[in-house]
Structure 1
Amino acid sequence: MTGNAVGTGVPLIGVLGSLTVSVRGRPVVPTASRLRTMLAVLALAAGEPVPIGRLAAAVWGDDPPQDVRRTTQVYVARLRRLLGAELIRTVPAGYALMVEPDNVDARLFVRLVDAAARATEPDTERALLVAALALWRGDPFQDARSAWLDRVEAPRLVDRRLAALERRIELDLADPSPALVAELQGLTARYPLRERFWAS
């Protein structure tokens, strides 16, 4: 993740693995699982409005509280106390976490992969893919799980990770190494249906 927010009040947020949040260099991860889920959903939008309905679907699924709007307000108030009141803005459509996309690892990952796809030099493309893949620390949303995240967001991110990994391996095959062979063996065992790993 980029470090341009280190030492400022802008949080650095990681969702590609367990949830990590750092404000002014201090970890401030919520302890309550539903708060972690709400923060993950807000972070994925990175400055864009998130409707209350989407937050409710992610946090409570098919068992919402009786007063969704009021309960959401209570949860947002708790996040504001944790992160800083100015970082979560109330907007007509719902709420927005006021961070730059590059301060959220999932958004930075997507930007780097998109930049790699536009690169005209193989070395540049590979460097961007390596930087993007290095952001992953495990399965996304490990401790901020919800049926909505598992169904909507996690598969999209995992598919993009595997596609980026496949492309990085294609580039590495120009000069294969024993480490690459071992990596491919592990990947074909873990993802037997990904034909491009077998083709490599």
Structure 2
Amino acid sequence: MSFDYDLEFAGHRAHAHNLTQGLVDDLSVTAYDRSDGRGLRIDLVGNPELYRPEELAAHHRRFLALLREFTAPNAQQRAVGLIDLATEEERAELLAESRANRVKYHESTLPELVAAQVARTPTATAVLDRDGRAVTYRDLDLASNRLARLLIAEGAGPDRIVALAASRSADMVAALLWARPYAAAPARCRTGCRPGVCTRSSCTTCV
């Protein structure tokens, strides 16, 4: 707020005091410059129906921490989003709360989850191909197993590189399901490959 604080009444100087800035709906930060050489005065005012005194005190500490970061020697090299306003106590409280509310889940692999779904709903649609063909969980599992037997017969195994020439289709999903149990990372051949032949020097088997 900018006012003329140098007030005189018939030669008598007056000292202005800000009693209130009016009703505050939520939280208000107001800066005053009284031009008396004392610098800025900053008031932090909160609605008492929304903030307890300890909450306002915590906001006050965070605001002071923000001002200190702005006046730090390397302030111009730091992004505002990187400023950490949480205290050590608040950080510890948040970590404890997150651990207490952590959702417990059963650690399962993707093939295990698919196998469980096959057992529950074998006839449900698992993949809808781009040509409109619906593939059930049972059919997807059978296709994945057929591909696994074919690749093993062709020499696929541990420490072997296998390139799969497949379009974006249900066949590619079956290939991904086959690769997961073996911790494999299937690579899609884009050019120069056809079933049975791979021109990439890194491929040892291509189907």
TM score, norm. by length of structure 2: 0.20
Q: Which has the higher helix share?
A: 1
Larger RCO (CA within 8 A; separation ≥ 6): 1
Asked which structure has the greater CA Rg, the reply is: 2
Q: Which has the higher strand share?
A: 2
TM score, norm. by length of structure 1: 0.20
